[in-house]
Amino acid sequence: MKRSIFKNEHEMFRKSFREYLKKEVIPQYEDWEKRGFVTREAWLDAGKHGWLCPTAEEKYGGAEADFLYSVIIMEELNYFALPGVFWAVHSDIVYPYLEKYARENKKKEWLPKCITGEKVLAVAMTEPEVGSDLARLTTRAVRNGDHYIVNGSKTFISNGQLAELCVVAVRTSDTKRPHDGISLFVIESERKGYHRGNNLEKIGLHAQDTSEIFFNDCRVPEENMLGTEGEGFKYLMQSLQQERLVIAIGAYAAARGALDLTMDYIKKRKAFGQTIGQFQNTRFSMAEMATKVQLAQSFLDDLIPRHMAGEDLVKEVSMAKYWITEMQFEVADRCLQFFGGYGYMKEYPISRHFVDARVQRIYGGANEVMKELIARRLRL
């Protein structure tokens, strides 16, 4: 089905990026999974080819492309079961914080290197004791002259091993309304008192580095604050619409990729004298899954242009994040079943689709939280 949201230049970009993945990323991905991270060389090469921060302003070295170019990058990576390449976190979740809220002198220092891949980005919100309940975070920044002294810890930080720049949510004051005392800082990994923990071992996303980060009397200059002191919670909430949309886009594309892989397999694999695809159970299952994938695509193709136009889509994006990630896991599970024992072997990409799908229902706000947000918007 032709997708009306993309123009010819977008499809040319998709073709070019897909060829790049087949040549430069897919052959290395198994090695990255064994290492537990995507190499710095790969990040730099992505920057050289223009795959990082495609929406960045020209004055900082970006292409100033529309968000649909980012959508294409997300879709292609997830379609080919390469979700451990977290370029979207760097480009479409963290980078906008810097471009919107950093001081101009810091933008000139940081942004060009984010675009080239010389600086990898991460965002640190979640804490070991309070999870994602930002109103109760305990990492604290105390003012000391023209600096702040940061103490505390964060966990489950995507890109945490490689990132040189980390957007960190901290408490700068105690208020009656807990989220009023939260601020955001960009903290460089080279600063004294900034310590990375181990690269956390996960059941999936093995190519993606995930870390704990510890701050021990880490001295951070005032100019590294993003926006205004005490406004951090508001900035985080404003950014979550795009973050959850990014997750939904990846979930849709991964489901489409799993379905296409399975479609090819069931047309060739034989059992009891006929191809697996000729059994009624298979045909009906594939019809059901294809319908759900198509519904996800149609929903997203409505939401993406509205998001680009600046609409408030908290309810709709929460619906998309919740339903599409649930659908992704269902499709990966049902598709793997058609591969039989081979589906359980790591050499088959369908197995990666399955294990990598599980976290989608957790990060970016667990799906139970999405349902609560939807219910609130329904005024229940």
Q: Which residue has the tokens 């359980």?
A: 344
User: 243 catalytic, yes or no?
Assistant: yes
296 and 321 Cβ atoms separated by less than 8 Å = no
Place of tokens 């960009």: 186
Contacts (Cβ under 8 Å, ≥6 apart) of 167: 94, 97, 98, 121, 122, 123, 124, 184, 185, 186, 226
E-strand spans in 127-221?
Answer: 140-144, 147-158, 165-171, 182-188, 194-199, 210-221
DSSP for 45-61 reads HHHHHT-S-TTS-GGGT
Cα separation, 358 vs 352, whole angstroms: 10
Tell me which of 41, 243, 347, 368 is the catalytic residue.
243
Q: SS3 for 183?
A: strand
260 to 137, 251, 287, 290, 348: CA distances (angstroms): 43, 14, 12, 9, 14
Contacts with 259 (C-beta within 8 Å, 6 or more apart), sequence order: 286, 289, 290, 293, 331, 335
C-alpha neighbours within 13 Å on the C-beta side of residue 212: 13
Residue 237's DSSP bridge partners are none
**Taking the CB of residue 118, how many other CB atoms lie within 10 A of it?**
14
- One-letter amino acid identity for 342? Y
CA–CA separation, 116 and 52 (whole Å): 7
Among 86, 36, 33, residue whose Cα is nearest residue 246: 86
The structure tokens 């460089």 sit at: 188
Cite the active site residues.
Answer: 243
